[in-house]
Each structure stands twice: as C-alpha cells, then as structure tokens.
Amino acid sequence: MAWEWLKKWGQDTPRVHSFSPRSFEEAGEMATRIAEGDIVLLNVEHLEWEIARRVVDFLCGAAFVACYCCHRTGPYNYIFLPGGVEFSEEFAQEAEKAPGGEPEEASHVPPERETPEPEPPAEAAGGPEEPEPSPEEEPEETPQPQVAPEEEPQDPQNP
C-alpha cells in the first residue's frame, strides 16, 4: 500500500526524515512526509508533555490512514515506517545505543514526565467537606459521657 504511494510520487525507496519539533504546528509537515511514503524519525524531547502527546497522537492517526506502523525506540523517540518496511531487532539494538534510551512498548508518557493528579473539587454538592485527618495526626478523642454502673436487680425473696 505505501509502496503504491511511493510509485505515485516517483520514488523507488522511502526517504528518511528526522524531526525534533518545538511546537505542534510542525506536526503537519511530518504527516505530509508520512503521506508521501517516507520514513519519519521523531524526537519529542524538546516539547512539553501535553504537546508531545498531541504530536504523537496526531502522527499515529496519520500513520494509521497511510497503513504505517509506529515503534517507540526510546523515552522520547518514535519511528513511523511504511507497511512494507521491516523494523528489525538489529535496528532496535542500535536505537538503544542512540541518545534517547532503551526501546519501550507503546506508552506516550516519557518516564520523567508523569501526569499530574487532578485536584479534587473544593466543595461538593452538599457543601464543603471536612478534611480527613492525615495518618500522622492523632484523632482528637471525644469525651464519653459517664454512666453509673447498673445495679443488679435483687431478688425479693432473697434480701
């Protein structure tokens, strides 16, 4: 499929393009290279996490339409290959030696950049909630009412 596109563009073999974008606006050019049947190397190291995720998602969509496959070759590195191009173990081993680290399976989140936990809303529908005591804090003891011990009922026949 991608090879048919190569012939359409007058190419016999795919060209290799390396990108290290600084903004999402550069993703369009990378998608064009994918549509032309070329190999795209992507390094998202210089992007903020959210922008990097958007770029990778956008290019994965373009790759799907063009019958490409995407491989993550390092924490910040991806390669987009036409369907007829093989991703070999030798290439994966070479990618490990390249700047960017070891190959990992499909996760778009670089290990150093974790998604921040969203903060819970301050007020619920019923009004503000009492904060839960932290495990380090000792809960305050509520004074218990003093109850007099019950006397046992006496048997009227045995005084």
Could you give the domains of the chain? Answer: 2-97 (3.30.110.150)
Among the residue ranges 39-43, 112-116, 131-135, the one predicted with the least confidence is 112-116
Q: Do residues 37 and 82 touch, judged by C-beta distance below 8 A?
A: yes
Q: Which helix (H) or strand (E) holds 82?
A: strand 77-82
- What is the pLDDT, as a whole number, of residue 152? 61
- What is the pLDDT, as a whole number, of residue 47? 94
Q: Which DSSP symbol is given to 146? A: P
Q: Do residues 87 and 94 touch, judged by C-beta distance below 8 A?
A: no
Query: What do you get for the CA distance between the two ends of the chain, in Å?
Result: 106
**Mean pLDDT (the chain, rounded):** 72
- What is the pLDDT, as a whole number, of residue 21? 94
Residues 6+ apart with CB under 8 A from 118: none
Q: Average pLDDT in the 103-117 region?
A: 44
- Work out the pLDDT band at 31, boundaries 50, 70, 90: very high
- What is the pLDDT, as a whole number, of residue 13? 77
- Antiparallel, parallel or unpaired: β 68-72 and 77-82: antiparallel
pLDDT over 70 at 30, yes or no: yes
